Structure 1
Amino acid sequence: MRSTISIILASAALSLAGCGRSDSAHSVEWAEVNPDDVSPAALKAAVSDPASRKFYEARNWKAVWTDGLAQDLADTIHRAPEHALLPTMFLPEATPEDPARREAELTKAALAYGLALAQGRVNPVEVFQVYTLPRPKVDMVAGLTKAIQDENVGEWLEAQAPQTEEYQALSKAFLHYAQLASSGTEQPIAAGEPLKVGVTDPRVGRLIDGLRENGYLAADYAQSEGDQLFAPQVEAAVKALQRDYGLKDDGVVGPDTLAILNTSAQDRARQIAVNMERRRWLAREAPQTRIDVNTAATFLEYWKDGRLRDRRVVVVGQTDWETPQLGSPMFRLVANPDWTVPRSIEQDELASKGAAYFAAQRIVQKNGRYVQLPGPKNALGQVKFDMQNTHAIYLHDTPSKALFQSAERHGSHGCVRVFDALGFADLIAADQGLTEDFAAKLAKGDTAFVQLKQKIPVRLLYHTAYLDGANQIRFRADAYGWDELVSAALGRPKSVRQKVKRRDGGDIGP
C-alpha cells in the first residue's frame, strides 16, 4: 500500500503577521520515501548544497530517509510557527517526483531548519557593521547523523532552539499576536479628545483592553464603576506605558500614547519574531556572572553566580551614535579617569568651542589630542568601567545626571552611562574583594587603576521585546531602527516604526 507524508502548512499562523489574511490551511503530500530507491549516483546529482554533500560523503552516498524519519521531520517543521518561522522556508510546497531529489530535499531541509533554530536564520554579522556577541557553535552534519542513527530527528531539531523561559514566553506571545492578526477582530481605540483620569468615555473600555493586552493591567482587571470611567488604576497603567516608551508620563492618552496602544497585532508579531531571532543568535549558556545591558530598554542587569545581583537604568547611544551590539569583558575600574576626546566628538562638538570653554571644562591638548582632566566636570565622572574591545565602548559615570530621570534615555555618544555609577563600582569592588583598594585610589583624586580579579563578561544587547521580572513580555520602541533591518533580512514587510529623536545640544560626553 502506498503511504504519504503529510505536511500541513497552516496559513493563518504561517503568514507570521506578514501580509494578508488566510483562514485556510493546505496540505502538501510527499510520496512514499524509500531509501532503497535512491542510487548513490542519482543522489550525487541531486545534492547541490555543501552541507548536504558533507553529510552524504560521510555515508558513502547512502540514502537515509525512511517513511518514519521523514514524517518526524515533516511534523517538526510543521511546528516552525512556534519559532516565528515558516515551514515553506525549509520544505518546498511542490513534491519532487524523483526519489533522489526527495531524499536531497529532506536532508537539506533538516540541516537548514536545525541551523535556523541553533544560530538564527539570519547572520547578524552580515546585517550589522558591528556585532561581536558570542554565538552558538554547532556541527549540524554531525548532529543530524546521530539523530538519524538514534531515530529522533524531531527531538534533536527542537533541542537546537533556545530553551529559556524567555524564549518560550516570546513564542507563546508570537502565536497569540499572529492569531489575533489573522482573525481580523482587532479594534483600535478611536481618535478624539485626550482621555484622562475622571473622564467617562466609551473608548475607555477599549483602552483597558489595550492595557491588559500589553501587560500594564492584570488580565482579570475589572472596574466596579464600569468600563467607561477612566479610573486612577487606569491612569497609573497609562503612566507606566508612557515611561516605558519615552513619553511624558502624565497619564493622559493623547496622539502619541494612542499610537502605541493601537500598534497592530501584525506589527507586534513581527517585533516578537525579530526578537526570537535575536535570542537564537546568542550562545546558549550565558555566563553565570555577567553584566547584560539592554540598549533598547536602557537598563542593565548584573548577574552573580547565576542570580540577579543588581538592576539599574542606564543612558545609551542616541540615534547616529548607536551603542553597538558587543560582547566584551570588563577588566578594571578606573578611579578619577581622564578622558581622551574621540575624533568624531572633537569634530562634531568641539570645533566651535573657544579657549574659555576648554578652560572651564579642564580640557587640554596632549600629543595632538584633546584630553579632559579628572575632576567634577569630567565627562566620565568619577569612575570608568574599562572593557576590552576595539570600539572604545565602555561603561562609565557622568556629571550629567538629569537624563537618568527621563523615560527616554538614548542620549549618549555610544558608551553606557550608569546610574549611581559609584554605587555600582562599590558593588563590583566588594564582590571581588577590592573595596579598600578602590576606595583609597578614588580618594586620592588622581587617575588610578584597579584590576578586577575576575573579568566580568558584558553583553550589550538590543532587545525590543523581553520578559520582565514579573514574567510579562514588555515591548520597547525600535530606537535605532534595527528591528527593521532584521525584519527585512528575514523577508518580512516593514512595520510602522515609532521613531526616537536624536538629542541636540546635549553634553559632549561619550
Structure 2
Amino acid sequence: MRKGVIASSLLAMTVTLAGCDFLSGYRDKAEAPASIDQLHWDDTAVRQLREAIDRRALHGLDRMRFAVGGRPGSVEGDQALTQSALRYASALARGASDPAKLYDVYTVPRPKPDLLRGLATALEAGKVGGWIDSLAPQNQEYRSLSKAYLALRRKDGAPAPTIPDKSEPLQPGTTDARIPAIARQLVASGYLDRTAAQGERYNPAMVRAAQRMQADYGIKPDGLIGSDALEVLNLSDADRARAMAVAMERMRWLDRKAPPTRIDVNIASGRLIYWRDGKVADSRKVVVGEPENETPQLRSPIYRLVANPTWTVPRSIERKEIAGKGGVYLRRNNMAWKDGWIVQQPGPENSLGLVKFDMKNEHRIYLHDTPAKHLFQEVQRQRSHGCVRVEDALGFAEMLARDEGVLEEWRRARATGKETFVKLPREIPVRLIYQTVIFGEDGEPAIRSDPYGWNDRVATALGFPPRQAYRLRTSDSDIGP
C-alpha cells in the first residue's frame, strides 16, 4: 500500500478542532462567560440546537438520546438548554463515551476544547448550529465513514440474507448457487473487486480474496469456504453500520492537533506510521500483543535507543513459559540468573533482537526488534506478549537516529556488541491506537477484523445491541515480550 493509504488506514488525525476557535468574537477571552448561568438562549438558537441533534445520525449517534430540555427566557430554562447543548457538543468534540472507563488502560490524549466559552460565542453570533457541526473531525476519512454509515443505516431494517452452511466446504473451481452472495460479501468487505464477482463459479480471484479474508481473521488461508469463513461472510448491513459508528467514535477520541513528529501504531491492523513534521516519512508492519496479552491503547514517548539490548524476563513469562525448563534451556537461549531474575544476554537471538526503543510508561510497553522475522509475513499479527515488534527494526532505528542527529553515536553503540544506550535529543511521541476500519486506495472504508473484540464495549456505549463477533484464533507465540 502507498504511504498515504496506510496513513489513512491508521486514521491519524492532524486537523484542527474548529470549535476551539469560536472565541474570535471576543477581543479578550477573559470577557467570555465562564458559567452556565451566564448564557442566554432565544428561539432561533433552540431551533438550531434541535436541528443539529436531529442530524446526529451523521455521526453514528442516532441510537443515543440527546434531549433538549428547557425553554428560553428563564434562568432555569437557559441552564437546561446549555446543559443539553454541552452534552451533545462534548459527544462530537471528545466522543460520546469515555475510553478510560471502557478499557483498563487508555492514556491517548483526548481533545480538551473549552465548550462553554465556544457555546457562549456561538450564542452571541447566532451560529449555534454551525459551531456544533464544527466540533466533529473535519477530515475526509470521517466524512467517508459518515456517508457509509448513513447508506448502511438505510438498509438496517431489511432482513440480512444468510449464506447457508453445507456439510462440505466449498472448493475452488466449484459451481454453487451461493457464489453470488459470497462474492457480494467479499466485495462489501473490501477483499474482492466488483469486476471479479461474476457468475456462480468459485473462480481464482474469489479464492485469493477468500484467502486474504481468512488470514485476516486468523483462519487457515486455504481458500476453502467452510463454517468459519461463512461466519465472517455472514456479516449483515447492521453489523457493518455498527463498525462504522465505532470507527467514528474512536476518531472523535483523538486529539485533532496530533504532534507533527510522532509514531502511530494501529494495534488492530498491526501497522506503524512514522510522521515527520506533519508528513508520512515511513510505514511498516508490526507484531502486537495476542488476545490474551493485549497491547494497551496508550501514548508514551521514545526517549532513547538501546543497542544490543539485554532482556530481563518478566515474572509472568518466567512462570508461564520458562519455569521448570532447567539450566540447559537457559544456556541454549543465552540466559542466566541475575539478582533473582532471568536475563537474556545481547545477541541476534535475543528476544528483543538488536535494538530496543525505550519508552516511558508504567506498563513496560515498548517497541523492539525480534528474531522471529517470519511473524511479519502473517496478515493478522497479534502474536506477542504485549510489546510492539517492528519490521526491520534496525533500519527504523537508523532512520530515527539520522533524523534526530545521533546517527554516528548510534553506529558506535551498535559496534560495541554490548548493551549501550543512546539518548535522543528530544522525545518522539508514540500513540498506540485501535481501529478496525481502514481506507483503500479509492478512499472507501473497509471493515477488517476486531482481534481483541474491543469494538463491542464501544458499540454498546453508543446504544447498539450486543452481538457475538468473530474472534481471532491465534497460533502459539514465542516467549518474547
The TM tier, using the shorter chain, reads: 0.7 to 0.9
CA distance in 1, matches of 2:148, 2:274: 26
Matched residues, percent identical? 45
CA distance in 1, matches of 2:125, 2:228: 55
- Residue 253 of structure 1: CA displacement? 2.2
Maintained 8 Å contact 1:91/1:105: no
- Residue 271 of structure 1: CA displacement? 2.0
CA distance in 2, matches of 1:222, 1:296: 28
CA distance in 2, matches of 1:295, 1:236: 25
- Residue 205 of structure 1: CA displacement? 1.3
Q: Which amino acid aligns with 2:53?
A: I
CA distance in 1, matches of 2:71, 2:208: 58
CA distance in 2, matches of 1:134, 1:435: 31
1:79 corresponding residue in structure 2: 55
- Residue 277 of structure 1: CA displacement? 1.2
Q: Which amino acid aligns with 1:86?
A: D
Q: Which amino acid aligns with 1:322?
A: E
- Residue 78 of structure 1: CA displacement? 0.7
Cα displacement string for residues 171-210 of structure 1 (whole angstroms, at most 9, x for unaligned residues): 12222222222233x3232323433432222211112211
- Residue 502 of structure 1: CA displacement? 5.0
SS of residue paired to 2:174 = coil
Distance change >3 Å, CA 307–CA 359, structure 1 → 2: same
Question: Which of 146, 162, 185 does residue 188 from structure 1 map onto?
Answer: 162
1:321 aligns with 2:293: yes
Q: Counterparts of 1:27-426 in structure 2 under 5 Å?
A: 55-59=35-39, 64-86=40-62, 89-91=65-67, 103-184=78-159, 186-192=160-166, 193-219=168-194, 221=195, 226-426=198-398
Distance change >3 Å, CA 102–CA 466, structure 1 → 2: farther
CA distance in 1, matches of 2:363, 2:317: 14
- Residue 54 of structure 1: CA displacement? 6.2
5+ residue gaps, structure 2, are 1-32
Question: Which of 411, 415, 427 does residue 439 from structure 1 map onto?
Answer: 411
SS of residue paired to 2:35 = helix
Considering only CA atoms, is the larger Rg found in Structure 1 or Structure 2?
1
- Residue 96 of structure 1: CA displacement? 7.8
- Residue 406 of structure 1: CA displacement? 2.0
| Structure with bigger RCO (C-alpha 8 Å, 6+ apart) | 2
CA distance in 1, matches of 2:295, 2:79: 43
- Residue 299 of structure 1: CA displacement? 1.4
- Residue 489 of structure 1: CA displacement? 3.0
Distance change >3 Å, CA 355–CA 131, structure 1 → 2: same
Cα RMSD after superposing both structures? 2.4
CA distance in 2, matches of 1:368, 1:222: 60
Distance change >3 Å, CA 87–CA 212, structure 1 → 2: closer
When normalised by structure 1's length, the TM-score is 0.82
- Residue 222 of structure 1: CA displacement? 5.5
Q: Which amino acid aligns with 1:57?
A: D
Cα displacement string for residues 456-504 of structure 1 (whole angstroms, at most 9, x for unaligned residues): 2111011112324542323232222221222233343212211123544
Number of aligned pairs? 448
Cα displacement string for residues 35-73 of structure 1 (whole angstroms, at most 9, x for unaligned residues): xxxxxxxxxxxxxxxxxx9633335xxxx3222111111
Cα displacement string for residues 11-30 of structure 1 (whole angstroms, at most 9, x for unaligned residues): xxxxxxxxxxxxxxxxxxxx
Q: Which amino acid aligns with 1:71?
A: R
